Structure 1
Amino acid sequence: MRRVVIGATAVSMALSIAACGKAGDDDNDSGSSGSDNKSIGLLLPDSVTTRYEKFDRPFFEAKVKELCDDCDVQYANAAADPAKQAQQMSSMVTKGVKVIVVSAQDSAAIKSSIQSAVDKGVKVIAYDRLAQGPVSAYVSFDNVKVGQLQGEALLASLGDKATPKAKVVMINGDDADPNAGQFKAGAHKALDGKVDIAYEQSGLWKDTVAAQKMSAAITQLGAKNIAGVYSANDGMAGGIANTLKGAKISGIPLTGQDAELAGIQRIVAGTQSSTVYKAFKPQADAAAQLAVNLLEGKDIKSLATSEVTSGSGDKVPAQLLTPVSVTKANINDTVIKDKLYTVAEICTAEYAAACKAAGLQ
C-alpha cells in the first residue's frame, strides 16, 4: 500500500484527566439517550494497551467538547472481543448515534457491522486501525514507516554487529490487526539483507504469548546466537524482556512501539533499546475534528488529504501522521517535552540511578 505521509505539527501534549469506565462497559458521559443529532460514538479495541484508556479516549472527548459543546460522546471498550465490539456498534446505532469512531479489534470481522451502520445513515471513521467496509475516513500514522523506524533503530543499536549472519528474532503483532502487517512490512524493508531473520512469529499483541515465542526462539537458536529482537510493540517487549532476563541474555537490542511508560523505563534501564512514539493527542484531535465535521455535514477533504485502500478494497480518505523513534538519547526531546510523562513518573526509585546516568533528573 502506497501512502502519502502528512507531517504532524509540533505537539504540546497536556495530559487531560477524564474518568475512565470499566473496560468493556458502555459509558454515556452526558447521560443523553443519543437520540438527537449530536451523538458521536467512540469504540476502542482493548484495555490491555495502555494508550487507549489513558490517552486516546480523554483526548478525543476533550476535543469533541471543544469543537461542539453540546455534542454527546458515547464510549465503549471491546476488551479484545470482536463479537463484543460488534454488539457495541449495533447498540450505538440503535441509540441513534450519528457518527462512530472505531478502532477495530478485528478489521475484517467488523465489516458487516460497519455496513449495517452505514445502511442506517451512520458515518463511520476508522481510528488507528483500518477497518474493512464503507468507512468515511481513516486516521492513523504511517504504519509502514513505524515498522521501518523500528527496523532502523534495531540496526543502529546493533552497530557493526549488523551483518547478514546476525540472527534476529522477530515477534510481530496480531494478524487480525491490519496495522500489524504494515509494521511487519516496514521492518522487513529495513532489515532484509542486513541481518538474518532467524525466527519470526506472531505474539498476538500479548506479553504472555510474546514471552512464549521468545522462549521457543532461544531453544531453537541458542541463547548465545541471538543478536537482537524485533518486538512490534512495548506490551510484547515487556514479556520478551522478562524471558531474556530469565535466560541470562543481556545487552542485545529490543524494539517496541507506543512509548508506554514501562517501555520508556526499560529503555532508561537498558533492557529495551527503542520504541516508536505516536503522539496520541494529534491523532485523537484529528479523529474528533473529522467526526464533528461529518456530524455537521461539513466537507473533510481538507483534513483527509491522503487515500488508502482497505482489506475489503474500499478507497478511504485518510489523515496520516508521522511517528518518531525514541531511544535513551531523545527521551527528553520527545515524551518529556510533549508532557506525555514527567521525569518523576519515569524515574521512580527503581530507575533513579539509571535516570541519573541517562541525564534524566
Structure 2
Amino acid sequence: MNKRLRGVTIAAAVTTMAVSLAACGKAGGGDSAAKGSSTKIGLLLPENKTARYEALDKPQFEKAVKDACSSCDVVYNNAVSDVSKQKQQFDQLIADGVKVIALDPVDAEKAASWVKTAQSKKVKVVAYDRAIAGADAYVSFDNTKVGELQGQALLDALGSKASSANVVMINGDEKDPNAALFKAGAHKALDGKVGKIAYEASGEWDPKIAGEKMAAAISSVGKSKIDAVYSANDGMAGGIVTALQNAGIKGIPVSGQDAELAGIQRIVAGTQTFTIYKSPLQEAPVAAQFAVNLLKGKSIGAQSTTDGVPSTLLKPVVVNKSNIESTVVKDGIYKVSDICTADLKSKCAALGIK
C-alpha cells in the first residue's frame, strides 16, 4: 500500500478508474452480468447525518455501476444509523436475489456474521469504506493516514505554539472501526508534539453530541486554555464550531474530514481550518468495479489485502484555504457558486476563489 500522497493526483486516479471500468464492461461477454444471474447490485450506506453519503457516494456509485454494466441496476438503502434496520435491508436484498452487496456497515463487527450468511447463499459482499472481516473485497482510504494528516495539519496550524498547546479531541463513533484508525493516526501525529491532550471524548459522528462534548471540554479545561480542536469529521466540526462561538472562542485551529460543503464553507469563513478530502470519484468507482467484477465472476483487481481481504486503499488529501479550487471544485464535487453564497462572496474573493 502506497503511503505517500505526492506524485499522484486525483485526476490521474479517476482516469485510471474510468479505464478499468470501461475494460470491465467490455471484457468477458459485454456489459451484462453472467447469463441467468441477477443484474442487481445492492448498496447499503450507514447513515445520513454525514452529508457525503447521500450527496456524493450514492450517485457516484450508481453512475459507475451503470458505466461498467448498462444492464445492471443498483438497489439502494440507507440505515439511518440503525443496525437492526440495516440487517433487515441486507436480508431483503438476499431474499430478492441480489448476488453482490456493497455494504458500509453501521456496526462492522455485527456485519461480519451477515457476510458469512450471505456467502453461504452464494452472495458476495464488498466492504465499502469500513472493513468487514471475511468480506469478498474491501475499498476505503488509508484511514490511519487520514488521522495522521489531520494531526499534522493541526500541528502546522499551531506552528510554534504546538509544543505548549492544549488540544481537545472529539473522536468518531467507537462502533466504527474507521474511527479507531483516525484516532490512532491523530495520536501518532500529536502525541509528544503538543503540550497535552486536555480533553478527549467520542462525538459519535453526531453534530449535536459533538457540540455537547465541546461544551463539556470548555467547562473542564477553561475557554482561555484551549488552543486547538481535533474533530474527526466535518459534521461534528459544525457542532464544535457552534459551541466555540457560543463560548466566545475564536481563531483556534479546528480540523475536519469528508470535505462536506458546510465544512468547505467554514474553511472559507475561517471557523474551520481544514478538512480531509476522500474523493467519491475515487472510492465509488473502485467499489463499483469490485461489485461488477464479482457479479461477472471475474478477477476483482484489488491492489493489496487487508486482514486477508482483497483491498484497494486510496489516498486522502488535506484541503484548506489554499487548495479548495484545485480539489473539490476542479473535481466537480462543488461549483464555486455552491460554496460562495452571498454571505461568503467577499471572503471567497479574498481567497481568489472564483
- Residues 32-65 of structure 1 show CA distances to partners (whole Å, capped at 9, x for unaligned) of xxx9421211001111111111111111111111
Larger helix fraction of residues: 2
Counterpart-to-counterpart distance in 1, 2:229 and 2:9: 31
CA RMSD of aligned residues (A): 1.6
Match of 1:66 in 2: 67
- The one-letter code of the counterpart of 1:188 is H
Match of 1:150 in 2: 150
8 Å CA contact 1:107–1:177 kept in 2: the answer is: yes
Match of 1:52 in 2: 53
Match of 1:122 in 2: 123
SS in 2 for 1:11: helix
Counterpart-to-counterpart distance in 2, 1:264 and 1:4: 27
8 Å CA contact 2:108–2:175 kept in 1: the answer is: yes
Counterpart-to-counterpart distance in 1, 2:165 and 2:10: 37
Match of 2:318 among 315, 318, 325: 325
Match of 1:26 in 2: none
Unaligned stretches of 5+ in structure 2?
16-35
Counterpart-to-counterpart distance in 2, 1:172 and 1:238: 14
Q: What aligned pairs does 1:1-361 form with structure 2 within 5 A after superposition?
A: 4-5=2-3, 10-11=10-11, 36-132=37-133, 134-163=134-163, 165-195=164-194, 196-300=196-300, 303-309=301-307, 315-361=308-354
Query: Deviation of residue 10 (structure 1)?
Result: 2.9
8 Å CA contact 1:4–1:306 kept in 2: the answer is: no
8 Å CA contact 2:10–2:282 kept in 1: the answer is: no
SS in 1 for 2:55: helix
Counterpart-to-counterpart distance in 2, 1:268 and 1:39: 41
Q: What is the TM-score normalised by the length of structure 1?
A: 0.89
Percent of residue pairs bearing the same amino acid type: 55
Corresponding pairs, count: 330
- Residues 226-282 of structure 1 show CA distances to partners (whole Å, capped at 9, x for unaligned) of 010000000000000000000000000000000000000100111000100011111
Counterpart-to-counterpart distance in 1, 2:38 and 2:337: 43
- The one-letter code of the counterpart of 2:174 is D
Which segment is superposed worse, 105-114 or 148-157? 105-114
- Residues 101-127 of structure 1 show CA distances to partners (whole Å, capped at 9, x for unaligned) of 000011112222221111111000000
Counterpart-to-counterpart distance in 2, 1:92 and 1:186: 35
- The one-letter code of the counterpart of 1:340 is I
- The one-letter code of the counterpart of 1:336 is V
Query: Deviation of residue 9 (structure 1)?
Result: 5.2
8 Å CA contact 1:6–1:319 kept in 2: the answer is: no
Unaligned stretches of 5+ in structure 1?
15-34, 310-314
Counterpart-to-counterpart distance in 2, 1:203 and 1:104: 18
Match of 1:20 in 2: none
- Residues 10-35 of structure 1 show CA distances to partners (whole Å, capped at 9, x for unaligned) of 33889xxxxxxxxxxxxxxxxxxxx9
Counterpart-to-counterpart distance in 2, 1:138 and 1:122: 15
8 Å CA contact 1:11–1:282 kept in 2: the answer is: no
Match of 1:28 in 2: none
